[in-house]
Amino acid sequence: MNGKPKLALLAACVATPVLAAGVAMDDQSQLTPKPAATANSTRFQPPREDDLPDNAFGKLVREGHAIFVDTQTHAAEYVGNGMNCTNCHLEQGRKADSAPLWAAYPMYPAYRKKNDKVNSYTERMQGCFQFSMNGKAPPAEGRVINALAAYSYWLATGAPTGKELPGRAYPSIAQPKGGYDIARGKVVYAQNCAICHGENGEGQKAAGHYVFPPLWGKDSFNWGAGMHRINTAAAFIKENMPLGKGGTLSDDDAWHVAAFMNSHERPQDPRLVDGSIDKTRERYHANDGVNLYGVRVDGVLLGQGTN
């Protein structure tokens, strides 16, 4: 577990995407879980990079792509951790069942329970900046949002508007019958995850940039991010991890390891109410899927934050 994995390993993994059948996640109220199509051939196909025109539109789309895959470099002022958008929206936002942008873009505006209003696509992306990227919302009419919206729009070329496509979001999986088990998750983590993400979830850097993103700690997503929910993380992990071997963990082990991951500290929820973890849990976490914010684990209160 101490050996540093070679970058070639990463490349090999990235080159072998695994597409599995699934159903949409159930956490966002505009998403109604339904069985997804099983055959990959029925999946929506976003355009290929070669199809991009060499003009002003193509230039803006390329800029959006650059921001999405290397947010650290191209939108640094809005990022407060070590993440890039593509770390959770795999294959540059193209991978079905990994919250692909082509399935998201045509579904907005949409109501979100999270902020109890109808959100524009811009507001939805701003949400990922504030929580998943632990940063600040880029201005609605600015370069970053315009470029990301253009990239999403282009990936959704030919997709129907307002019709949920198979492959949207992360396919939810049932909770273990006996509940999740953090101790079991620790074992699953050591065996399947630590080689890339580090023994303490700290990720691994090369030349100052993360090649394996952190799973908890100060450089990870914050306590307000969708991934802090054990159910959402379990769905993501089952489908996509270990990288290149998505679908190999049992549903139960995906839950256990998601619970282990999300039983560690990470940056505070930026919506912190009156400096109180209890009040913040009450208002934002008590009814937000399965999560450990404001809960005691082994006598330690979670949700204290790293910043």
| 238 is an interface residue for ligand HEC by CB under 6 A | no
Closest contact distance (angstroms) between CB of 218 and ligand HEC is 13
| 259 is an interface residue for ligand HEC by CB under 6 A | no
Closest contact distance (angstroms) between CB of 132 and ligand HEC is 3
Q: What are residue 110's DSSP bridge partners? A: 119
| 212 is an interface residue for ligand HEC by CB under 6 A | yes
| 133 is an interface residue for ligand HEC by CB under 6 A | yes
Q: Which stretch binds ligand HEC (CB under 6 A): 175-183, 221-229, 267-275, 290-298?
A: 221-229
| 124 is an interface residue for ligand HEC by CB under 6 A | yes
Q: Give the x/- contact pattern for ligand HEC in 60-89, rule: CB under 6 A.
A: -----------x-----------x-xxxxx
DSSP-derived pairing of the beta strands 110-112 and 117-119: antiparallel
The tokens of 268 are what? 């505070």
The smaller minimum CB distance to ligand HEC, of residues 105 and 281, is found at: 105
Closest contact distance (angstroms) between CB of 23 and ligand HEC is 14
The smaller minimum CB distance to ligand HEC, of residues 237 and 277, is found at: 237
